């Protein structure tokens, strides 16, 4: 599997984001995560968005982090927030989420985030 940084508004990221929103609606009975997001929120050094691809180039999993500072949602200065962690059903159980999470945490720490 190939995990690489990808812009949040890349067509493959949009495809997986649509899939995770649909899963949220099924799981939680609402219209998904209504958090307003834009590609700039995941641009280094204040964030990172990753996609995992299979050897044929099909997107399998996604995840990102974005910087957070003190706000009314309970974040403190220097926090990192994970967003859009998702693995397509056919690729679950392969350790992709664990690998993406590890890469995101490492990158956020390197950027000085907690």
Question: What would the DSSP string read from start to end of 4-40?
Answer: EE--TTSHHHHHHHHHHHHHHHHHHSSS-------GG
Q: Which tokens sit at 90?
A: 């056919």
Sheet with 79-87, edge to edge strand ranges: 2-5, 47-53, 59-68, 79-87
Q: What does the domain layout of the chain look like in residue ranges?
A: 2-110
Q: Average pLDDT of 75-80?
A: 94
Q: For the domain with range 2-110, which CATH number is right: 3.40.718.10, 3.40.50.920, 3.50.50.60, 3.40.630.30?
A: 3.40.630.30
pTM for the predicted model, two decimal places: 0.91
Q: Which tokens sit at 73?
A: 């949602």
Nearest Cα residue to 53 out of 104, 102, 9, 16 = 16
6 pLDDT more than 90: yes
Q: Average pLDDT of 50-73?
A: 95
Label residue 58 by pLDDT band (50, 70, 90): very high
């Amino acid at each position: 599997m190939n995990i690489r940084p990808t812009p949040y508004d890349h067509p493959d990221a949009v495809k997986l984001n649509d899939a995770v929103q649909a899963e949220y609606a099924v799981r939680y009975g609402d219209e998904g995560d209504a958090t307003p997001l834009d590609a700039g929120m995941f641009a280094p050094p204040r964030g990172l968005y990753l996609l995992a691809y299979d050897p044929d180039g099909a997107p399998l999993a996604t995840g990102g982090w974005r910087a957070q500072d003190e706000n009314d949602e309970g974040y403190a200065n220097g926090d990192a927030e994970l967003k859009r962690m998702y693995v397509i059903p056919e690729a679950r159980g392969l350790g992709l989420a664990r690998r993406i999470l590890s890469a995101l945490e490492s990158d956020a720490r390197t950027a000085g985030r907690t």
